[in-house]
Amino acid sequence: MKMITVLGARPQFIKACMLSRLLQNDKNINEIIVHTGQHYDKNMSDIFFTQLQLPTPDYHLGVGSGSHGKQTADMLIQLENVINKEKPDLVLVYGDTNSTLAGSLAASKLHVPIAHIEAGLRSFNRRMPEEINRVVTDHLSTFLFAPSQAAVDHLAREGIKEGVYVTGDIMYDAVLHYKETAVNQSDILQRLQLQAEDYYLATIHRAENTDEPDRLKNILKAFQQLDKKVVFPLHPRTKHTIEKWEQGTNSNILLIEPLNYLDMLVMESQAKTILTDSGGIQKEAYMLRTPCITLRKETEWEETVREKWNTIMPPTHSEKIVEAVLNSEKPQAYRSLFGDGNAAHHIQVVLREMFKY
């Protein structure tokens, strides 16, 4: 069986490392990895292939940044060429990025079956580009690998019941696999001169926050008023916006470059609280049992809110953000929501059965 895996962004590299490791050792499958270049910064892309020992991509499309339409269109044109050349039995996509959408559109137009890992997530906010990408990809996919029962329920309400499999969350595989390695190898706390639970970790990258000066101003103002240092790895988009709008920071905010995966795992696991607008980091926070404040008006990971490990806080008032952070505590109860840590194996089993190899 020949399959094309489409990757383009940091979370996809992390997820892919778990499944690709199995597929590379499967003599009956030929996985061709296509890197769209959606994340092109070394700290957001190349380092993950090296650190996580992902196979070198067979194709690197080098698409880079651009508007949603242009970026997706450029990917679509090049992915169509790759699919026509390789003639795969399956195209596999991860998550909800423009790379996900382009991969699924290109495959569907050429009548190639699509497998979507992390299917069924919904924020119910159609203004989010990621929500459009999720919905379209799910409705085009043949195989839908859902991380949780909530995701399955979302698909069922949209009439998608065939080809749906609850495998657990492949990101949980990665957290379990790399957590001990991260603790043993990373010296990020020493380098930043930090102590466990004596800092907050923040990540902001969504356009709804970075492209709205008032929202970003509220977020930074809240960070300045917190009782502990806020470590803030800067996504390239956020860095550009801070510079463009001349949004100020003070000594309470430690601006740093994007972190590699092992350093990020340590920072997430040892933080007092995480403040983020990232879906993946909300989930990693839960898996690492770190309280999370989500700086959005909704989340696709509603289970983490119900379990009281995640608090939704729209960044409309800095005072409310500060209050939410200061009141955040670890709940006494914790439930495993995202499977048994063997999602990659469960996905491989389904592929074997479906393609009879």
Distance CA 20, CA 147 (A): 18
Domain identity same for 82 and 211? no
Tell me the CB-side half-sphere exposure of residue 140, using CA atoms within 13 A. 27
Give residue 85's pLDDT.
98
Low-confidence ranges of the chain (pLDDT < 50): none
Distance CA 86, CA 159 (A): 32
Domain identity same for 243 and 261? yes
Residue 349, Cβ neighbours under 10 Å: how many?
Answer: 13
Whether 267 maps to a domain, the answer reads yes
Domain identity same for 79 and 159? yes
Sheet bearing 114-117, strands edge to edge: 59-60, 30-35, 2-7, 90-94, 114-117, 143-146, 164-166
State which H helix or E strand residue 192 sits in.
helix 188-192
Structure tokens at 201: 């970790």
Whether 332 maps to a domain, the answer reads no
Whether 183 maps to a domain, the answer reads yes
Give residue 266's pLDDT.
98
Give residue 184's pLDDT.
93
Domain at 197, CATH number: 3.40.50.2000
130 close to 107: Cβ distance less than 8 angstroms: no
Burial class (CB in 10 A: 0-12, 13-18, 19+), 193: exposed
* Catalytic residue of the set 177, 205, 240, 317: 205
Domain identity same for 163 and 201? no
Q: What letters, b where the CB count within 10 A reaches 16 and e where it falls short, cover 54-74?
A: bbebebebebeeeeeeebbbb
Domain identity same for 124 and 196? no
Domain identity same for 160 and 191? no
Domain identity same for 19 and 156? yes
Whether 331 maps to a domain, the answer reads no
Whether 334 maps to a domain, the answer reads no
> Residue 140 sits in which domain range?
2-169+339-355
Domain identity same for 136 and 227? no
How does pLDDT run across 319-340, given as a tens digit for each residue?
Answer: 999 999 999 999 999 999 999 9
Whether 303 maps to a domain, the answer reads yes
Give residue 250's pLDDT.
80
Domain identity same for 82 and 197? no
- Residue 116 falls in the annotated catalytic set: no
What's the whole-model pTM score?
0.90
Burial class (CB in 10 A: 0-12, 13-18, 19+), 296: buried
Domain identity same for 36 and 142? yes
Domain identity same for 12 and 157? yes
Residue found under tokens 């890992």: 117
Domain identity same for 96 and 132? yes
Give residue 64's pLDDT.
83
Question: Count of domains in the chain?
Answer: 2
Whether 184 maps to a domain, the answer reads yes
